Amino acid sequence: MNETAPDSTDAAAEQHSTRGAYVSAGKGFDRDMNYIDDRITRDGRDGWPVEAGRYRLIAARACPWANRTLISRRLLGLEDVISVGMPGPTHDKRSWTFDLDPGEVDPVLGYERLQQAYFARFPDYPRGITVPAVVDVPTRAVVTNDFQRITLDFATEWTEHHRAGAPDLYPEAQREEIDALNKWMLHRVNNGVYKVGFAGSQEDYEREYALLWEALDELEERLGRSRYLMGPSITEADVRLFPTLIRFDPVYHGHFKANRQTLASMPNLWNYTKDLFQTPGFGDTVDFAQIKRHYYYVHEDINPTQIVPAGPALEPLLEAHDRDRFETDTWGPGGTAPEAPLAAEVVDPAHTPLHVTGR
């Protein structure tokens, strides 16, 4: 997601900026959770049928919510079915921009800004222009930005296009428990770090800080019982937690003042993070340079100098972990690891310690 808005006037842009990334003095952080809830389904009941090559996922590597969709797309092998556009790590009040592409224009949509896809469908769209978003290529109009639903539909509605050996990220027998865990993690961890970082008063900060660390302690204990959140295999829950954990020490610990301790000092959470980072489909979607550039540059209200820190060292993410002490069936019955990323989607080797050869 992000902190951007329509640009009919500067005042309107300011009013609608962010679903969350700004400080409001004296107030707690409250993310706008109203999204375009259309779904792309096999039966096309919302008017958007599953169709290979029709849709384009817009997902900035900097954004944790978008990072989930990149991981899911990789794990399920949807790269040749759903194309991807990647905005750069910074944006203004109006929108994410395609400044990484030649001519600073998305080569498929022909847009300079993501907001153009939103306005193509909703000319007076009143909310933040967020990633991830799925765009209908023929009309160049946004279909959905419901970040919580997009990955679930990748797992359940796009099954005919999954690669051979794709994991079942949302197994039916565990869905109720996964849903409950995901809801808890959303409010206490994924969004919890933002509640700490954008608290507008000492009282709000201390309350949210305590709740965040209480939740992280619970996860530390949970991960002392199994390799992954739901047991021996990777599920949607792991896809949702990893983007927050991988950003914790480089960003949330200092930038958001979530600094009771580093993640690297918590044995289970840290080894779990290293384990997933070294797992195909997870670490190879992470661009630390873009992540740090986004948070430290865009959030001028909490980092007015826009200085991006040089650390922390990333090489420890490649060190051995201890997660294989648990029962393990990483990809589930009959599952296999995904192939290497498409050559055009390989993260710049200078931005990560994980060097992956594309295909």
- Sheet holding 83-85: strands in order across? 83-85, 55-58, 133-136, 141-144
Query: Which residue among the candidates 63, 118, 228, 252 is catalytic per the annotation?
Result: 63
Note if 297 is an active site residue.
Answer: no
The closest of 311, 316, 310, 312 to 354, measured between CA atoms, is 316
Q: Does 96 show up as a binding residue in the annotation?
A: yes
Note if 272 is an active site residue.
Answer: no
- Locus of tokens 């027998």: 173
Angle of helix 236-246 versus helix 175-185 axis, rounded to 10: 20
Query: Which residue among the candidates 194, 205, 209, 252 is catalytic per the annotation?
Result: 194
d(CA 338, CA 195): 35
Q: Are 301 and 313 in contact (CB under 8 A)?
A: no
Q: Are 51 and 82 in contact (CB under 8 A)?
A: no
Q: DSSP for 226-283, please give it.
A: -SBTTBSS--HHHHHHHHHHHTIIIIITTTT---SS-GGGSHHHHHHHHHHHTSTTTG
- Locus of tokens 């060097």: 355
State the Cα angle at 48 between 36 and 3, rounded to 5°: 25
Q: Which residues of 139-165 are buried (b: 16+ CB within 10 A; e: fewer)?
A: ebbbbbbbbbbbbbbbbbbbeebbbee
d(CA 236, CA 27): 32
Q: Show which residues are catalytic.
A: 63, 194
For the annotated binding site for glutathione, the residues are: 96
